[in-house]
Structure 1
Amino acid sequence: MVLFSLVATHADIDLETVAQLSTGASELATSALAGSPAVAGAIVLATCNRFEIYGEAHRTEDVDNARAALIAQLSGSTGLNEQVVARSFNTRTGADVTRHLFSVSSGLDSAVVGEREIAGQVRRALITAQHEGTASSGLVRLFQAASKTAKDVGAQTALGARGLSVVSVALDLATELSEDPDWSAKKVVVFGTGAYAGATMSLLRERGCTDVSVYSSSGRAAGFVATRGGTALDGETLPAAVAAADVMIGCSGADTRVEAAELAKVRAGSPQPLIAIDLALTHDFDPAVGGLDGVELLTLESVRLAAPQEQAESLAQANSIVAGAASAFEQDREARSVDSAIVALRRHTMNVLDTEMEKVRARHGCTAAAEEVEFALRRMVKQLLHVPTVRARELAANGQQEDYVAALEALYGITVEPAAERATGAECPVVHDAGVQGAGVPDAGHDTRRHSA
């Protein structure tokens, strides 16, 4: 099985294109799995400044077909030309996939370096894929390891200690632009009820802002403010709230947006200036609102440009943790890649043993002597299988697993079939501890025993 990823981020393409790609996120993974045998698993990670697809293919030669299937599906759902979609992505395979996702989850690849929101988004992407049944076991292990790495970075370094995030940097910018930096005196209107809106409410509360109103085009504002505070708005009360607002913050990414002409009409008699913060990738506010008198518009691009740099020492520590975790994950993947070969060898050997024991029983019956012979032979088989098992792990760690498989076929005529991948990722066919003699070698002929990973 081969991991690959298609990556489109703020570092390589404009946010407008990222937004267009994100509109095709829904059902992309399920449709690709259903439509292409080359795609064994897929997880979509879509945030305010990145759109990434993580996939697993059965073989290296399947990656191009899997990529083509995903691009074709995304082109169809977004209406973008396939060539435009293809040019938007950088394709990674193997260890590059691991290192990139671990960096992303740890906040090292964010517009605001060190922000912690991305770690939650990575976890939710995995949960969504598991719920939809598109997460192969290899992808489950990858995303779980990425989340663990993010926790290690947070616990072992000062990266992100200042609590910076896209929302916090945006609010800092708004503070600098305000005539009065005191948030306790400001009236704020928040558009949206999702994760960003929740983070915005928390940060506004920390800054002393108590006059917050929330609007949701889907009618979820009342339920949202019931647990977070604030005043729920509807279509009738929204215009008056916007007219009186000092700040309005877009976090919804809904199909409808506040148009410049509409805002100008609503704000015609408002004496105070307005700061509009648009954190929605697909824009809650018409970009033209920034040209209105008395209105300052802040966007995700504004946040990216204003984000402060983390200290070099913290970054170095975080990068070291990510590099170590990625290396360990790849070594484990290489070790797992020979599972099928090890199981095949054990099965072959135990079948030979069972055949010989049948001959012993046929001649001597089920006597104590026969049982002693069987016990001795099975113990000997365990000893004989230990070295080939250890060597399999060593060869896999050096990328020579194909040599091991070829040797089995040449010496024993054993054909190794690829192991069936399962979405749970909860079990593996053998114990991954080559340091214990006989570890994972089946007892008493039970060569299909499985051990918890």
Structure 2
Amino acid sequence: MVLFSLVASHRDVDLTTVAKLADGAVGLPGDMVEAGALTGAVALSTCNRLELYGEWDIDPDDASTVAESRRELVELLARRAGFTPGEVSDGVRLLIEEDAAKHLFTVVSGLESAVVGEREITGQVRRALIEAQRSGTASGELIRLFETAAQTAREVGTHTSLGERGRSIVSVALDLADDVTDGLWPERRALVFGTGAYAGATMAALRDRGCADIEVYSASGRADAFTANRGGTPVAADGLPEALRRCDVVIGCSGGSEPMAAEDLPSGPLTVVDLALSRDFDPAAADLPDVELITLESVKLAAPEETGESVAAAERIVDQATRRFRDRRSGRDMSAAIVALRQHTMGVLEKELEKIRKHHGCTGATEEVEFAMRRMVRSLLHEPTVRARQLAEEGRADDYLTGLEAVFGIEVPGAQEPTAEQDPTTAAHGTRPKRSREAGPAPSPAGAHRDPSAGSEPRLYPLPRAVG
């Protein structure tokens, strides 16, 4: 299986397009896994990026297949988001295997954020994996990828000064609001739209600055439960106009389906901070007299730069994590290859030993012959086992796998951890293979579609046209 990431971020497309793509991607991982188009999928959607991580059953070295897979995935996402493929294709990147892993490690470390070094992204990546696990779309390899990303973020936080100043999108936005709003935070009234993670971070940031008068509005009616846990005063729908007139700063974190029209905002001095990816307020609000509008684009332009030394140190940690992840994947390939070679060789040995037992019976001579043959096979397997590890370390695992298929006709299954009964080290030590109960067919990936008449694993490519 091939790991990939399809990326649309603030670096390549405008935030309005990112927001629409994010809306189109709702439910996409589950649909694709259920249809058999992907073995696993995780969607990461934040205020400035949409990224779809998944596993494909394609050959990563076949450029035409990769290009066709990308085209179909972009086409599907564009259609669900209300775009034509041509409108978004140039702004969407497809990353494969090691590049996909490195990109996620870079993102979770805050190196790709609008505010470099911000730590909010770590929680967003964690929540993306949790959601995929709840919906049954997170494959084992994707879980390992995201867990390694979390570990990488911890290493960056521990061993570098990146993000030490606590800068985030919320903090930079509130700094901008402070510059254009009369008075000081302890004297100001704030109104927060939304009850999600960003709303929670905004509440905490406001309190840190001394703002105690905070009201919360939720179009979905969750303000009461939200404020019961986090403080603040809930605002009902019929009380929203009055709450807007009371506040000095209104902060949008909800990303509702329809932005508030400019004419619905009250007259008079008001600072509007719109942190919602799909906008909580009509951009025309910026044209109103006495209204200051701060958007994600404003935050991106105003974000302070981290020191080159901190960024370089974080990049080194990301590079190291990427190599470790790549080596682990190669190691799993080699473990599966060694197991396959061992099973093939031991199968031949057992057939020959069975012939000897039938011909000579269980005599002392038979036992001596069996001992000698097992010792010989053990010696023969030692060098291929050592070479497998060496080639994996050199990044030449494919050479070994190709050789096994060409010489012995052994096709190694997808990279999997060896079980206790398939420990490849037993080949080097010559332990007699354990006899296990006959196992049934391997279970399909979570949600994968299987044709009951096919009798084999479902084909996961190309993408079915019916999806979406």
Q: 1:255 to 1:410 in 2, by over 3 A?
A: closer
Tell me, in whole angstroms, the C-alpha distance in 2 between the residues paired with 1:208 and 1:376: 81
Q: 1:216 to 1:369 in 2, by over 3 A?
A: farther
The 3-state SS of whatever aligns with 2:251 is strand
* Structure 1 residues 351-366: aligned runs within 5 Å: 351-363=347-359, 365=361
Residue 440 of structure 1: how far off its partner (Å): 8.2
Partner of 1:6: 6
Tell me, in whole angstroms, the C-alpha distance in 2 between the residues paired with 1:290 and 1:42: 39
**TM-score, normalized by length of structure 2?**
0.85
Tell me, in whole angstroms, the C-alpha distance in 1 between the residues paired with 2:349 and 2:368: 14
**Amino acid in the other structure paired with 2:48:** N
**Amino acid in the other structure paired with 1:175:** D
Partner of 1:248: 250
* Structure 1 residues 370-389: aligned runs within 5 Å: 377-378=373-374, 381-389=377-385
Tell me, in whole angstroms, the C-alpha distance in 1 between the residues paired with 2:285 and 2:323: 48
**Amino acid in the other structure paired with 1:2:** V
* 1:276 corresponds to which of 272, 286, 305: 272
Partner of 2:186: 184
Residue 102 of structure 1: how far off its partner (Å): 0.7
Give the conservation status (yes or no) of the 8 Å contact 1:4–1:55. yes
Partner of 1:123: 126
Tell me, in whole angstroms, the C-alpha distance in 1 between the residues paired with 2:400 and 2:430: 20
Alignment: residue pair count: 432
Per-residue CA deviations over 1:61-97 (Å, capped at 9, x if unaligned) read: 4433432332232123211112223222022223221
The 3-state SS of whatever aligns with 2:26 is coil
2:151 is the alignment partner of 1:148: yes
Q: 1:47 to 1:343 in 2, by over 3 A?
A: same
* Structure 1 residues 384-423: aligned runs within 5 Å: 384-412=380-408, 414-419=409-414
Give the conservation status (yes or no) of the 8 Å contact 1:339–1:430. no
Per-residue CA deviations over 1:246-267 (Å, capped at 9, x if unaligned) read: 000000001132211111xxx2
Tell me, in whole angstroms, the C-alpha distance in 1 between the residues paired with 2:371 and 2:226: 67
**Amino acid in the other structure paired with 2:216:** V
**Amino acid in the other structure paired with 2:46:** T
2:152 is the alignment partner of 1:164: no
**TM-score, normalized by length of structure 1?**
0.88
Q: 1:251 to 1:372 in 2, by over 3 A?
A: farther
Tell me, in whole angstroms, the C-alpha distance in 1 between the residues paired with 2:385 and 2:178: 63
Give the conservation status (yes or no) of the 8 Å contact 2:192–2:199. yes
Structure 1 vs Structure 2: percent identity of aligned residues? 51
Residue 32 of structure 1: how far off its partner (Å): 2.5
Give the conservation status (yes or no) of the 8 Å contact 1:335–1:396. yes
Partner of 2:219: 217
**Amino acid in the other structure paired with 2:397:** Q
Residue 13 of structure 1: how far off its partner (Å): 1.3
Residue 372 of structure 1: how far off its partner (Å): 7.0
Partner of 1:258: 260
Tell me, in whole angstroms, the C-alpha distance in 1 between the residues paired with 2:324 and 2:435: 28
**Amino acid in the other structure paired with 2:244:** V
Partner of 1:106: 109
Q: 1:330 to 1:5 in 2, by over 3 A?
A: same
Gaps of 5+ in 2: 438-468
* Structure 1 residues 127-138: aligned runs within 5 Å: 127-138=130-141
* 2:207 corresponds to which of 188, 196, 205: 205
Residue 5 of structure 1: how far off its partner (Å): 1.8
Give the conservation status (yes or no) of the 8 Å contact 1:4–1:91. yes
Tell me, in whole angstroms, the C-alpha distance in 1 between the residues paired with 2:93 and 2:45: 15
Tell me, in whole angstroms, the C-alpha distance in 2 between the residues paired with 1:411 and 1:135: 36
Residue 318 of structure 1: how far off its partner (Å): 0.7
Per-residue CA deviations over 1:97-153 (Å, capped at 9, x if unaligned) read: 122111101000100000011111111112222222322333222221111101100
Q: 1:438 to 1:35 in 2, by over 3 A?
A: closer
Give the conservation status (yes or no) of the 8 Å contact 1:347–1:447. no
Partner of 1:424: none
**Amino acid in the other structure paired with 2:127:** R
The 3-state SS of whatever aligns with 1:297 is strand
Tell me, in whole angstroms, the C-alpha distance in 2 between the residues paired with 1:257 and 1:130: 31
2:342 is the alignment partner of 1:342: no
* Structure 1 residues 415-434: aligned runs within 5 Å: 415-419=410-414, 428-429=417-418
Partner of 2:45: 46
Q: 1:21 to 1:278 in 2, by over 3 A?
A: same
Q: 1:441 to 1:26 in 2, by over 3 A?
A: farther
Tell me, in whole angstroms, the C-alpha distance in 2 between the residues paired with 1:255 and 1:157: 39
**Amino acid in the other structure paired with 2:263:** A
Partner of 1:93: 96
Residue 178 of structure 1: how far off its partner (Å): 2.1
